């Protein structure tokens, strides 16, 4: 008796599955087929968009943005068509999303503002991938500009993530692929400043990392108490900033030693004046 009931239950489940398969099988298959075709079309449209952007020499940031938008639109349309196979319309969903958008926006003001700022940065393009950005005392090479944040990398391989709302509307410096190096060295007043300037120029011209596009600047910066300060400025690739600066400083120091250009050190002259001692009020007469 129990066996017959189990067989009947199994038969009922089987009949239900077969009925659902017959009734909705083609719809499910059609929806899956539409999604697969949508994914294929999204990838094809993305590649075509990328090819057009590369051919027109569009900025890489805008290229990524347009490719992402095209793929998202195509996938969205495929999803709407697939949902329609089950009789689901998009209008009620849009209404529900619109109703909840106001309350949700209050909870995600930070991310939304980041995305809005990111979209403005991508459209206005105040800087691009590969530029050197200095912002909030942080300097790095722009590796990627996302909708939510801008990614910088330093010479040491560190990654700096700055939310876009802290980039847009702020004062930042874009020095493009290069960065300026500023240095100063003091020489004695008895030394020849023209010789010192020539030696520094030779050291800068001999280094292969120093940019030839922007001329170096060398000259007297100040007349200090113990020295004549010679300042120098030159441009290098940001990824070799520190190693180049340290190497050139060493080259300048060795060149001054070789040509006997004196580098003084700060001196202070202290004089002790002898004053007559005054009798103490506690001294015995």
- 55 plus 87 within the same structural domain: yes
Query: Is 8 part of any domain?
Result: yes
Query: Is 272 part of any domain?
Result: no
CATH of the domain at 148: 2.30.30.60
pLDDT, tens digit, for every residue of 122-136?
Answer: 888 899 889 999 998
Tokens of 283: 């001294």
Nearest CA to 264 out of 225, 231, 221, 232 is that of 225
CATH of the domain at 221: 3.30.70.100
pLDDT at 106: 47
Mean pLDDT calculated for residue range 90-99? 58
Per the prediction, the chain carries an average pLDDT of 83
- Is the pLDDT assigned to residue 9 strictly greater than 80? no
Query: Is 283 part of any domain?
Result: no
* Enclosing domain of residue 219: 178-258
Residues 6+ apart with CB under 8 A from 112: 105
- 102 plus 7 within the same structural domain: yes
Which one of 77, 106, 135 terminates a domain? Answer: 106
Contact 142, 129 (CB under 8 A): yes
Tokens of 253: 């120091």
By mean pLDDT, which of 82-86, 114-118, 142-146 is the weakest?
Answer: 82-86
- Is the pLDDT assigned to residue 46 strictly greater than 50? yes
- Is the pLDDT assigned to residue 152 strictly greater than 50? yes
Q: Is 272 exposed, middle or buried (0-12, 13-18, 19+ CB in 10 A)?
A: exposed
Which one of 72, 106, 140 terminates a domain? Answer: 106
- 31 plus 64 within the same structural domain: yes
- Is the pLDDT assigned to residue 104 strictly greater than 60? no
In percent, the amount of the chain with pLDDT more than 70 equals 78
How is residue 163 annotated by DSSP?
E
- The angle that helices 60-84 and 109-124 make with each other, rounded to 10 degrees, is 120
- 162 plus 182 within the same structural domain: no
Strand partners, 234: 181
Count up the domains in the chain and report the number.
3
Cα-atom radius of gyration of the chain, to the nearest Å?
36
- 238 plus 254 within the same structural domain: yes
Nearest CA to 54 out of 46, 151, 269 is that of 46
- Is the pLDDT assigned to residue 219 strictly greater than 50? yes
């Amino acid at each position: 008796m129990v066996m017959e009931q189990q067989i009947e239950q199994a038969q009922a489940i089987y009949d239900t599955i077969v009925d659902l398969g017959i009734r909705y099988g083609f719809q499910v298959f059609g929806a899956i087929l539409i999604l697969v075709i949508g994914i294929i079309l999204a990838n094809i449209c993305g590649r075509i968009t990328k090819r057009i952007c590369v051919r027109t020499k569009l900025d890489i940031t805008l290229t990524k943005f347009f490719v992402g938008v095209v793929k998202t639109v195509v996938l969205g349309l495929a999803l709407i068509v697939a949902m329609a196979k089950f009789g689901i319309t998009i209008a009620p969903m849009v209404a529900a999303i619109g109703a909840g958008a106001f309350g949700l926006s209050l909870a995600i003001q930070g991310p939304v503002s980041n995305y809005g700022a990111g979209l403005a940065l991508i459209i206005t393009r105040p800087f691009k991938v590969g530029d050197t950005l200095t912002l909030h005392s942080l300097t790095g090479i722009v590796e990627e500009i996302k909708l939510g944040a801008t990614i910088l990398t330093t010479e040491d391989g560190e990654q700096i993530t700055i939310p876009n709302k802290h980039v847009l509307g702020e004062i930042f410096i874009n020095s493009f692929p290069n960065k300026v190096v500023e240095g100063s060295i003091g020489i004695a007043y008895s030394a020849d400043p023209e010789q010192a300037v020539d030696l520094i120029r030779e050291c800068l011209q001999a280094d292969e990392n120093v940019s030839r596009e922007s001329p170096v600047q060398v000259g007297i910066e100040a007349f200090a108490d113990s020295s004549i300060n010679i300042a120098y400025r030159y441009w290098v690739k940001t990824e070799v900033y520190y190693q180049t600066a340290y190497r050139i400083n060493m080259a300048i120091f060795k060149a001054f030693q070789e040509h006997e250009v004196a580098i003084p050190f700060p001196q202070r002259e202290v004089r002790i004046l002898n004053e007559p001692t005054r009798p103490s009020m506690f001294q015995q007469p």
